[in-house]
Structure 1
Amino acid sequence: MSKRMTLQSLPKTSSFTKKLTPDPRIPSVKVALDPSTPQELFHVARRLIGGAYTYCKPTPRKEYRFLTASPYAMETLGLDPSEAKDKSFQELVSGEKYLTDPFPYSQAYAGYQFGQFAGQLGDGRVVNLFEVESARDGQRYELQLKGAGLTPFSRFADGKALLSSSIREFVISEALSAIGIPSTRALAITALPKTYAMRARHEKCAVVCRMAPTWIRIGTFDLYKWREDRKGLIELSNYVIDEVFHNKMVEDEQIKREVEQEISKHNITLTRYDKMYFEIVARNAKTVALWHVYGFLNGVLNTDNTSITGLSMDFGPFAFMEYFDPNYTSNHDDHTRMYSFANTPSAIWFNLVKLGEDVAELIGADQELLDVPDFEAGIKQEWTERMIQRAGKIIEIAGTVYEKLFMDDYLKLVCQRIGISPRDTDHTEILGPMFEMLRATKIDYNDFFKILQHVPLEKKLDYEATAELFIPKNFQEDLVNDYTKENILKELKSFLVVFKDRVEREQLSDSERLSRASKVNPLFVPKNWMLEEVIEYTTENDLRPDYIDKIMKMGTNPYDRAKWGDELKDLEERWCSDVSFELKMGKCSCAS
């Protein structure tokens, strides 16, 4: 392993600002640093007439109180974890101090929100700091501050982030990644004790230092389509291909096989823009499969919240589903259930279709047209029909690829969670009965898989006693919701008969099942009621981070209980126990 570095010592760059066109009102760092440049350009809402970003500075706050850093994120960057105690580190990840080389900036993007185009959006409370390469593996990460103050994209908002929502994002970003679900990351969280914001009530604010290989989202492409900025769209696409994907697209064996299988039916030779589109489609398909396997809902899946690299991002009203309910939505403002658990795959596909429409002129052109010297200048009339047909076909093929990748990964991963090898018949023979049982019993979704992997099936099974294993020690019956021991035992016994038969037909030993399943069944996932306890404790105990640190230890070591620490064992036990039904499946607001 490479020598541990510090955030201070890591070389810092900004390929985004070097490669992409800036806001013409602040066209250079020199102008940004010039005292004569009107300060309202940095912090007053305005529409950018061009460019991918505008230079922007964090808003100074009256007081900063560093809460904690994520050891897991520090490890990802190859940093010395003790650096989190240094004042210079804390100043940098809070926005109390910032570098001017590279100079901070905020990204511009647009987006479809709940299916409707919303125009220019952008980083309304985010300031991007710089890019660093991990000292561990060389992976590039772009660090940014959420809650850093007003930007030109703040619209009617205040540029602030609540402490409560910041704690939620800090925890879930790291927990998802530790489970194995692609996600943006959170390096540190800093409270702003004297900075308040009004949402449902008056609340303290905070800043989260987030990191990701890129923060480009589908909404970034939406912006250029809306502006009718063809040159900018080509510039952005080339940046994504060269700097984000490093020209390595459709190279994953599974993705390559599915794409080639479909395009071979249509006599299409892929261009670099086709590959970019398919890569974005494929990565999102695979992430959505993971969300479904683990029962995770983002809550808001607009195009401006959909990463081009398939990362879970922009966490607001998210949740881990506590019992199986396909109609569940974690967003209490989602009255039509557009982003419910069942609708998640179609919601992301809607966004990917919009991306296809954004880049239609690029995926509509075959290599012959792309090689025409004046192609970038505009589309000739005689090319139009040919390009429309090709773009439509590419999007159609992408839909097939998206569905196949999602279904294949979903089947494979769900089967691994129950310890069996996937078979085409499993959808109807085992998964159908399993999810119907989970829906009917309302037992804890994640705990079910944890317990099932330990059920001994090699010997004659006492179905009554085995079903009892799934009843929590502190089981709290709820007659209104049919959450009763009698119902649970009845449904579980029926399922166990089917499951035992399926395992015996594959001739699997108990140890084989456990070996497979334990690799993908987390012992802990952070649920909304737990996060509410963390928030309440932190705010009522002078911003002490004890509960944050505890849930982070558990969340970032989901497969290894030995790393959860010796502190707060009673709390740990409660977080691994059943709670009253009214606390489950909570919903959150978009306001954060």
Structure 2
Amino acid sequence: MFLSLNYEPALESLGYDYFDEVAAAEFPRHILRFRNDQLLPHIGLNPQDTNDQDFIQAFGKFQGVRPFLALGYHGYQFGEYNPRLGDGRGFLYGQVRGIDGELYDFGTKGSGTTPYSRTADGRLTLKGGVREVLAAEALHHLGVLTSRCLSLIETGEQLWRGDEPSPTRSSVIVRFSRSHIRFGTFERLHYFKRPDLIKKLLDHVIEQYYPSIIPLREDKKQEQYAQFYAELVERVARLAAQWMAAGFCHAVLNTDNMSITGESFDYGPFAFIPTYDPKFTAAYFDYYRRYSYGNQPGICQLNLEMLQQPLGMVIPTSEMEAGLAEFGKHYYRNYRHLMLNKLGFEQLPESEESELLRLTIQFLQDTQVGYHAFFAELAQQFD
């Protein structure tokens, strides 16, 4: 079923400057633990016509579709630049056009080693796979723009990890997302001093993921790129607001974990806040609370600012600064709207909205009532 889809070589057509062709690992067992039938109609498939073996053949045994592409990227990790990154345990399985006309990626995690694996084994624990499924599905149903898991397959290997009891079971997931192009994809090209490749990738991103931007002739390209950056700022501000309203702490907001489409993805040590606490930090190794719950909007804005460095090779920084200056306005407008909806209001006078939001946050912080329980109980009262 999946092998007969019409895969598009959209990213592949850009050439080998952006990726390496890789092969999938061969696993001793294939046990389908999760299949996301909700996603199948989006790509024109009927869940009733798709059996478990279809998932296993395509996304466990990786038969039929070639090539698989491991993307290169760099990133600022906890503020330090790391040029030794890339798809180290996954690859782009393929790209398909949804029934909505948008391009979607099938991307793996836990599918084996690649040239970017370094000393790692290229595997994913079953616990890690289950956590990604839970995070993505929870966020989707909370209204967050997120990647989702198409499948989770246990693969029959024993893995050793320092942060969970070992040996532990192995798995591979296939992620369904709008793109796997990251801020760090551009940072890598800047590191190699390749403005030509940055421009080529920008044109691709705008064509595939920013349909509202009207194509312009070559002498107007900078204007088009500035429009892209301004829209990216708006998308990322909206995403930050969605995380905050959902009470979600991503935990690892490095630039290599920021999607160029403004979509949430890549869930490791995430957590949902138990009570409203801006200092709540999900990752045990985040000693200085850099990626705490309350820091997320600021970190998103900082990552957008860091992106100006590679994009500055083709876009004047002054034009990007104008877009970035709107981040706070975009964020607060979205956050206020989302929180008012959680409180049961569609619209109030702006002054009343701001005061109600301030009082709500103050109440949640002072009482330390369960964040999610509070809104769940409130919703029941409306019912």
TM-score, with length taken from structure 2? 0.92
- Structure richer in strand, relative to its length: 2
Q: CA deviation at 1:447?
A: 2.1
Opposite residue 261 of structure 2, the aligned amino acid is T
CA contact under 8 A between 2:142 and 2:246: conserved in structure 1?
A: no
Say whether 1:411 aligns with 2:336. yes
Which of 131, 140, 146 is matched with 2:103 structurally? 140
Which of 194, 206, 215 is matched with 2:157 structurally? 194
Percent identity between the aligned chains? 28
Q: What is the CA–CA distance in structure 1 between the aligned matches of 2:27 and 2:2, rounded to whole Å?
A: 22
Relative distance call for 1:333 and 1:423 in structure 2 (3 A) is farther
CA contact under 8 A between 2:234 and 2:330: conserved in structure 1?
A: yes
Q: CA deviation at 1:211?
A: 1.4
Relative distance call for 1:339 and 1:423 in structure 2 (3 A) is farther
Relative distance call for 1:97 and 1:413 in structure 2 (3 A) is closer
Opposite residue 64 of structure 1, the aligned amino acid is H
Q: Give the aligned partner of residue 58 of structure 2.
A: 92
The 3-state SS of whatever aligns with 1:141 is: strand
CA contact under 8 A between 2:214 and 2:224: conserved in structure 1?
A: no
Unaligned runs of 5+ in 1: 1-5, 23-50, 252-267, 365-390, 456-513, 519-592
Q: CA deviation at 1:441?
A: 2.0
Which is higher, the Rg of structure 1 or of structure 2?
A: 1
Query: 1:201-280 alignment to 2 at 5 Å?
Result: 201-246=166-211, 248-249=212-213, 271-280=223-232
Unaligned runs of 5+ in 2: none
CA contact under 8 A between 2:273 and 2:371: conserved in structure 1?
A: yes
Q: CA deviation at 1:426?
A: 3.9
What are the Cα deviations for residues 26-56 of structure 1, in whole angstroms up to 9, with x where unaligned? Answer: xxxxxxxxxxxxxxxxxxxxxxxxx100000
Relative distance call for 1:291 and 1:307 in structure 2 (3 A) is same
Of 174-183 and 322-331, more deviation after overlay is shown by 174-183
Q: Give the aligned partner of residue 308 of structure 2.
A: 356
Say whether 1:81 aligns with 2:47. yes
CA contact under 8 A between 1:111 and 1:302: conserved in structure 2?
A: yes
Q: Give the aligned partner of residue 93 of structure 2.
A: 129
The 3-state SS of whatever aligns with 2:138 is: helix
Q: What is the CA–CA distance in structure 1 between the aligned matches of 2:192 and 2:129, rounded to whole Å?
A: 33
The 3-state SS of whatever aligns with 1:8 is: helix
Opposite residue 60 of structure 1, the aligned amino acid is E
What are the Cα deviations for residues 280-312 of structure 1, in whole angstroms up to 9, with x where unaligned? Answer: 111111010111111111110000000111111
Opposite residue 119 of structure 2, the aligned amino acid is F
CA contact under 8 A between 1:249 and 1:279: conserved in structure 2?
A: no
Q: CA deviation at 1:450?
A: 2.6
Which of 356, 368, 376 is matched with 1:442 structurally? 368
The 3-state SS of whatever aligns with 1:190 is: strand
Q: What is the CA–CA distance in structure 2 between the aligned matches of 1:302 and 1:237, rounded to whole Å?
A: 21
Say whether 1:104 aligns with 2:40. no
Q: What is the CA–CA distance in structure 2 between the aligned matches of 1:427 and 1:269, rounded to whole Å?
A: 40
How many residue pairs end up in the alignment?
A: 376
Relative distance call for 1:189 and 1:453 in structure 2 (3 A) is closer
Query: What RMSD in Å do the two structures reach over aligned CA positions?
Result: 2.1
Which of 86, 103, 119 is matched with 2:83 structurally? 119
TM-score, with length taken from structure 1? 0.61
Q: CA deviation at 1:89?
A: 3.0
Q: What is the CA–CA distance in structure 1 between the aligned matches of 2:241 and 2:10, rounded to whole Å?
A: 31
Which of 42, 62, 83 is matched with 2:28 structurally? 62
Q: What is the CA–CA distance in structure 2 between the aligned matches of 1:342 and 1:349, rounded to whole Å?
A: 13
Say whether 1:14 aligns with 2:9. yes
Q: Give the aligned partner of residue 394 of structure 1.
A: 319
Relative distance call for 1:269 and 1:215 in structure 2 (3 A) is closer
CA contact under 8 A between 1:411 and 1:422: conserved in structure 2?
A: no
CA contact under 8 A between 1:250 and 1:279: conserved in structure 2?
A: no
Q: CA deviation at 1:428?
A: 5.5
CA contact under 8 A between 1:69 and 1:84: conserved in structure 2?
A: no
CA contact under 8 A between 2:222 and 2:314: conserved in structure 1?
A: no
